[in-house]
Amino acid sequence: MPAQIPPEALSIGRARGRLSASSFTAFNRCEKQWFLNYRIGLRGPTNPHQVMGVIVEDALCGLLMERAGSEGNNWAQSDAPSSDCNTFEELKKWIFAKIPKSANKVFEDGKSEFEKSLWSKGDWNESFTIEMVEKMLEHGIELQLEEVESCFEAGGGLHDFDVPAPCWKTPPHFALPGKVNQKIKWEDEPHIFSEQSLTWCDAWEIARPWVKDPRNPQPQRMYHPEKWAAGECDIVHRWDGGIRIIDVKMGDGGGKFAASLPDQLNFYSWLWNETHDSKCTGLEGWYLTNGMRKVVEITSKETSEYRAVHDLMQNYSADNKLPILEPCDGSAGGCHWCSKSEISYEPSKIEMPFESLSAIPNRVNVKGKLQGSWGPLPNHYGEMVLGAMIQYGDKMVTIEESQPGAFPMMHSAPAGEVIITGALPGVWRGQPRLYLDQHSEIVSNSDAELTRMGMLRTKANVTGVVLSCSRRDGNRMDGRPWSMMSFHIWDGERVAEAVAFGSAMNGSILAIKPGDTVSLISAELGWREGLVQLRIDSRSTRINVESKA
């Protein structure tokens, strides 16, 4: 099933370096949009439709997980009458009775999530009503009831799988059960099939698809065996003997983004075939605004073609200048920063003790003896990476992959004294660290100019105007919560991401808004996708915010 063992141990987010359906479609629409969004992480304000799209999909999945005829509403935790569901009309009436409470929860949860956004645009109450949400859920359920009718008319179908379709009455499936709190007890009441003819309750049970289980904090994705691609399906139907992958959309099938649906679904089809013994046999888009079922032809690319796109992304220019030299025309859909020829903010003047972002050294060469190889072990993002130590004289520094798979030959480096070229200098927990990626090398000899390990730059003093900000909260695979706040500062020429985790997210940081001028003293250097990332340490980083108001 799509929920496979992830390569990360306790990851707090998706690795940016992997090819995903969203990054692939963005790259096809506009490479410059992809670069700013997925490499630099620079995005626009949160809008109500982005929030609603996620939560209404969760609610639909929650309704599909109900046991036919059961009372209550597990996703919305509300009372709803039970039913024998002896006829199709009774089955439809039973599941539709659960929709009003679900719609109310979607509306209130979505409104709360939108208002919690650090940077947003739009008005929630003007964008949606509870009646609109009810109609979207009704359309989604009607599409599923078409599956149930087909299953009933066919006399049943397949339902016994190693990883069953999620149901509130049965325990969730965990790709890593050892990471789960064993004290949590789940209902375990299997459906009892009729010994006579197929019932409508049986058909509902058989036709229930695999969906993302909201009880499961672990990633529910497919991971390519070589770890360079990953994807997450919304719905997978298997009852008719085939594998149909469905992507749920909140819209009506129109607009610029609708053209990306075939690319997105065919990416899932290819990834399914790469990660499963079975083959994908069908692709569909389900649109909740009007209830349209859009069947998409399977035209997946070859693995070599997807890998070629991934390699293009990996070798894409890491220039963090903004505005970009040749802005796009903004016609692709989703274009924001990539279409701007000028930035509307006035940058602050850079004076001592601050330096420009371009002055931060991004590659160094060091000499020493490798020892103490370790890993793969989780880094501070929970991603599994290789590491080692390099020593020269009395100085010893940790070296580590900048992200999973960035430097797989680390443990097969030459013996004895070596030179590391193209390393990214940074710091973690007060100690210098060197990050290696595909642009780094470990060689026996080199004419490169060396940096003494005792002189490695690990921190920077920078100032700039904030262009965007966002906050993310979630749970690690073991259920523990995590929080991260990020914002992008622009010094008039270049842009860089600054991040704060957990306790470093104080009131001053959470109050940052676009247009504010932020000055960071002793920000720690880190690296993501070969681009500098400024990390805020609550113990050593000083931050000053000048509000635009």
Within 8 A by CB and 6+ apart from 127, the residues are 48, 49, 52
Do 109 and 128 belong together in one domain?
A: yes
**Model confidence pLDDT, tens digit, residues 223-235:** 898 888 999 999 9
CA distance 233 to 440: 35
Quick one: which H or E segment has residue 177? Answer: none
**Model confidence pLDDT, tens digit, residues 105-147:** 999 999 999 999 999 999 999 999 999 999 999 999 999 999 9
pLDDT at 2: 59
- Summarize the confidence of residues 391-419 as an average pLDDT: 88
Q: Which residue has the tokens 């370790």?
A: 374
Asked, for residue 152, whether it belongs to a domain, the answer is yes
Asked, for residue 235, whether it belongs to a domain, the answer is no
Asked, for residue 70, whether it belongs to a domain, the answer is yes
Quick one: which H or E segment has residue 309? Answer: helix 303-314
Q: List the CATH number of the domain containing 464.
A: 2.40.50.140
- Summarize the confidence of residues 238-243 as an average pLDDT: 96
Quick one: DSSP state of residue 372? E
**Model confidence pLDDT, tens digit, residues 497-542:** 999 988 888 888 999 999 999 999 999 988 877 788 999 988 889 9
What percentage of the chain reaches a pLDDT higher than 90?
A: 66
Do 480 and 419 belong together in one domain?
A: no
- For the chain, the average pLDDT equals 90
Tokens of 224: 């390519």
Do 413 and 487 belong together in one domain?
A: no
Do 488 and 538 belong together in one domain?
A: yes
Q: Which residue has the tokens 């799209």?
A: 53
Q: Answer whether 144's CB lies under 8 Å from 235's CB.
A: no
pLDDT band at 6 (very low <50, low <70, confident <90, very high): low
Query: Helical H runs in 357-475?
Result: none
**SS3 for 504?**
helix
Q: Is 265's pLDDT higher than 90?
A: yes
Do 127 and 183 belong together in one domain?
A: yes
Rg (the chain; Cα; Å): 26
**SS3 for 420?**
strand
List C-alpha distances in Å: 337 to 33, 64, 192, 237, 330.
Answer: 7, 39, 56, 38, 9
Domain that holds residue 192: 45-215
Quick one: DSSP state of residue 119? S
Within 8 A by CB and 6+ apart from 246, the residues are 209, 233, 234, 235, 236, 237, 283, 284, 285, 286
Do 378 and 507 belong together in one domain?
A: no
pLDDT at 12: 45
Quick one: which H or E segment has residue 296? Answer: strand 292-296
Do 511 and 399 belong together in one domain?
A: no
**Tally of domains in the chain:** 3
Task: Please say which residue of 192, 215, 238 terminates a domain.
Answer: 215
Q: Which residue has the tokens 């980083």?
A: 541
For residue 376, say if its preceding peptide bond is cis, omega within 30 degrees of 0.
Answer: yes
Q: Is 414's pLDDT higher than 50?
A: yes
List C-alpha distances in Å: 178 to 187, 218, 436.
Answer: 19, 11, 31
Q: Is 11's pLDDT higher than 70?
A: no
In the sheet that holds 244-249, the strands lie side by side as: 210-211, 235-237, 244-249, 282-287, 292-296
Q: Which residue has the tokens 């990539």?
A: 338
CA distance 260 to 455: 49
- Calculate the dihedral angle through the C-alpha atoms of 515, 536, 374, 180, rounding to the nearest 10 degrees: -80
- Summarize the confidence of residues 425-444 as an average pLDDT: 88
Do 401 and 463 belong together in one domain?
A: no
If one compares 545 and 179, the residue with the highest pLDDT of the two is 545
Asked, for residue 51, whether it belongs to a domain, the answer is yes
Q: List the CATH number of the domain containing 406.
A: 2.40.50
Q: Is 10's pLDDT higher than 70?
A: no
**SS3 for 483?**
strand
Q: Which amino acid is at 323?
A: P
Task: Please say which residue of 159, 180, 215 terminates a domain.
Answer: 215
Q: Is 9's pLDDT higher than 50?
A: no
Q: Which of 324, 78, 65, 75 is nearest to 207 (CA)?
A: 65
Do 80 and 160 belong together in one domain?
A: yes
pLDDT at 478: 65
What percentage of the chain reaches a pLDDT higher than 70?
A: 96
CA distance 456 to 471: 31
Task: Please say which residue of 455, 489, 511 terminates a domain.
Answer: 455
Asked, for residue 309, whether it belongs to a domain, the answer is no
Q: Which residue has the tokens 């790469």?
A: 274
Q: Is 382's pLDDT higher than 80?
A: no
Instruction: Give pTM, 2 decimals.
Output: 0.90
Asked, for residue 537, whether it belongs to a domain, the answer is yes
Tokens of 380: 């501070």
Tokens of 318: 């890491």
Asked, for residue 292, whether it belongs to a domain, the answer is no
Quick one: which H or E segment has residue 99? Answer: helix 99-116
List C-alpha distances in Å: 186 to 123, 169, 172, 468.
Answer: 39, 8, 8, 41
Q: Which of 381, 451, 386 is nearest to 10 (CA)?
A: 381
What is the distance of C-alpha 208 from the center of its chain? Answer: 26
Quick one: which H or E segment has residue 365? Answer: strand 364-378
Do 79 and 171 belong together in one domain?
A: yes
- Summarize the confidence of residues 187-201 as an average pLDDT: 94
Asked, for residue 260, whether it belongs to a domain, the answer is no
pLDDT band at 474 (very low <50, low <70, confident <90, very high): confident
pLDDT at 430: 80
Do 432 and 489 belong together in one domain?
A: no
Do 448 and 465 belong together in one domain?
A: no
Neighbours of 297 (CB within 10 A): 9
